[in-house]
Amino acid sequence: MKDTYRKLLAECEGARAVNTHCHHLPDGFQQGQTLDILLENSYAAWNGLTPGRTGESRDDYCRQLRATASFHWLEKGLQRLCGMDAPLCAATWDAYDAKVRALTADAGFHLRALREDCGYDRVILDSLAPCGRQETDETLFVPTYRVNMFLFGYGNDAKDHNGRHPLACCGWDRMPGSYPEFLAAVRNEIRMAKDRGAVALKSALAYDRGQRFLPVSPEQAAAGYRNPEASPEDVIRFQDGVFREICAAAGETGLPLQVHTGLGLLKDSAAMQLRDLIADYPGTRFVLFHGSFPWTQDVVALTRTFQNVYADLCWLPLLSAAACESLLRELLESVTPLRLAWGCDTWHSFESLGARMAMNHVLAKTLSGLIDEGRIDPAQAEYVIGCVLKEGAKRCYGL
Ligand SMILES: [Zn+2]
């Protein structure tokens, strides 16, 4: 097992990848970094702990987080880019900080790390910059277009969880006068996003509302649009109508719809809530993100049942490598590996490399298990690695 694992890990490390989902922050953030800011802008920070400034507080921070997947893989990425082996702790804190400052003094370091250390050929960027517009290196990054805000066009003061409203984000002079005009404007924005180079649409609506988008009549949906008398129920029907229109537009423009599933508000956020929507739009490619963790088997069932569903393992190895191993194995037993993909889902190169190392580990561990059981041979394992890291994404997004 150990030998097979090591061989496959080397195989994964040498493979080039298409990173399907990333929030890489602008150049201005990446240059002149410190260890503390890197940690603040990582999933380690989502545990609600801060390292403080004393030796005691730093040691305690590391002790509390050491077993979590998010901290473990961030530490791995940090160690590799810094060229240091020692665990991160109070005694090594200043040495890591000095190394991070020295590396990131060079403005080109962060992109070199993505290309050379992480091995990315292309990266699909989900920018959280105001209104999603971010200057990027267009030879590496291609954008996905966030659609959450359109579900908040029902009133002037509504905003999605990123604080966005379509009027400001799209630069419209005024809101369209009627619901049908609003839908036409949304379709127009999607067409323009494609013309500007977007290769996908992205919904992070699991942070805004439940994921059951019911069929509604135009009249039902219109009752929620710019109507001071609208009930909360009317607003939900409006959102259902808008999201269904977005699904239709995704299919017609050939842009895959990337959908955050699993964590979020945890209110109807499991992927299975999308079942009827997926069935109603067979011409739309639905890319289910994050393995719907912790409801990972939803993704197996949906991918297996609907040919227009893809499973993207982005973020999952940083949430739980164990859950990702089990999902990967179940997916490999259910569908072609060309329906799988992976993205780092991080804000900077240090954590991105950690995420890549986590996915490499998951692939090597799962596939070496299958080889040792006699289920597959090394050539098949090599093929699967190529599909998950690159070919599945190239095919889905037409890159
Ligand atoms: Zn993300």
pLDDT in tens, 43-76: 999 999 999 999 999 999 999 999 999 999 999 9
How many whole angstroms from 159 Cα to the centroid of ligand 1?
Answer: 19
- According to the model, what pLDDT value does residue 311 have? 98
- The whole-number pLDDT of residue 138 equals 78
State whether CATH 3.20.20.140 applies to domain 119-397. yes
Task: Tell me, in angstroms, the distance from the centre of ligand 1 to residue 23's CA.
Answer: 6
**Concatenated DSSP letters of 191-236:** HHHHHTT--EEEE-GGGTS-S------HHHHHTTSS-TT--HHHHH
Domain boundaries, the chain: 119-397
Ligand 1 center–CA 219 separation, angstroms: 34
Which pLDDT score, from 0 to 100, does residue 130 have? 65
Structure pTM?
A: 0.96
Instruction: Write down the pLDDT at residue 132.
Output: 62
Give 231 Cα–ligand 1 centroid separation in angstroms. Answer: 31
Rounded to whole angstroms, the Cα distance separating 73 from 44 reads: 10
Share of the chain above pLDDT 70, in %: 98
pLDDT score for 133: 65
Is it the case that residue 229 has pLDDT exceeding 90?
yes
- The conformation of residue 171, written as its DSSP 8-state character, comes to T
Residues with C-beta atoms within 5 A of ion ligand 1: 345
Is residue 220 over pLDDT 80? yes
Question: pLDDT (tens digit, 9 = 90+) per residue, 368-398?
Answer: 999 999 999 999 999 999 999 999 999 999 9
Residue pLDDT, tens place only, 90-119: 999 999 999 999 999 999 999 999 999 999
- pLDDT at res. 137: 80
